[in-house]
Each structure stands twice: as C-alpha cells, then as structure tokens.
Amino acid sequence: MLDVFEYAVLRVVPRVERGELMNVGVIVYCRARDFLDCRCWVDDTRLRALDPALDLDGVRAALQAVSRMCQGGQAAGQAADQPPGARFRWLTAPRSTVLQPGPVHAGLTDDPAAELDRLFRTLVQ
C-alpha cells in the first residue's frame, strides 16, 4: 500500500544577497509510517567556491541539529516530546539563516527510507 510522504531539500545559502545555494540534505516525513529522517552531506570544495569564508563547522553543526531533531527523544532537545509531524513542520519552516529548507513537496511511497535514499542521491550527491 502506498502512503503519502513529504520532503524538503536542505540548502546552504552562504550569501543571501547573491542568491547562490547548494543542496546539502533531504528531510522525509511519512505520517502513516511514523517516519521522520534526513540525509546530509557537505562538499567542502563546492561550498568554498560559493564563499571562501563560509563557516563549514557551523554548517555541519546545524545539520547535526537537524538530524537530532529528526531522531526525536532527548537528542531533539526542547522538541523531545513533539510528534514527528510537528518536528517536520518546525524543520521546514522558512528561515533566513545560512541553512534553509526548500519548499515542501509530496509523493507516494511504500518505503519512506528508500525514498529518502533515492531523493538524497538525486538531489544532493
């Protein structure tokens, strides 16, 4: 049986005024399967090409925070008791930081983890 899933691409936007960005991750949420997870990857060379002064350690720390939020539990900090859907909505809310979520898209899947892997390979790597 196919279930609805939602996903958003995580983007690094080093200098908002230039409008340049690089995809660095994907978040997938499937309510029917109680699934929330992400995959992230930072290509230092490509990001440095966009902005040589970019704080790569800061980018990695922000991505680790996203991963902890997806995991839930005590790793999610203040959101520890929030259900996966609430955490997904928080992670995909627009913000004006260096790490930004793209628009939320939807699809159908019978395996959200496999969908996450496919989207990561297609949109990030």
The DSSP 8-state label assigned to residue 92 in this structure reads T
pLDDT for the residue numbered 77:
80
C-alpha distances (whole Å) from 32 to each of 19, 36, 116 are: 36, 11, 15
Beta bridge partner(s), residue 38: 27
| Structure-token pair, residue 98 | 């260096």
CA dist 80 and 34 (Å) reads: 15
Q: What is the pLDDT of residues 80-115, one digit of tens each?
A: 789 999 999 999 998 878 999 999 999 999 999 999
The DSSP 8-state label assigned to residue 53 in this structure reads T
Query: Which amino acid, 107?
Result: G
Task: Express as a percent the part of the chain with pLDDT over 70.
Answer: 100
Is residue 86 within 8 Å of residue 79, measured between CB atoms? yes
Q: What is the pLDDT of residues 6-17, one digit of tens each?
A: 999 999 999 888
Burial class (CB within 10 angstroms; exposed 0-12, middle 13-18, buried 19+) of 59: buried
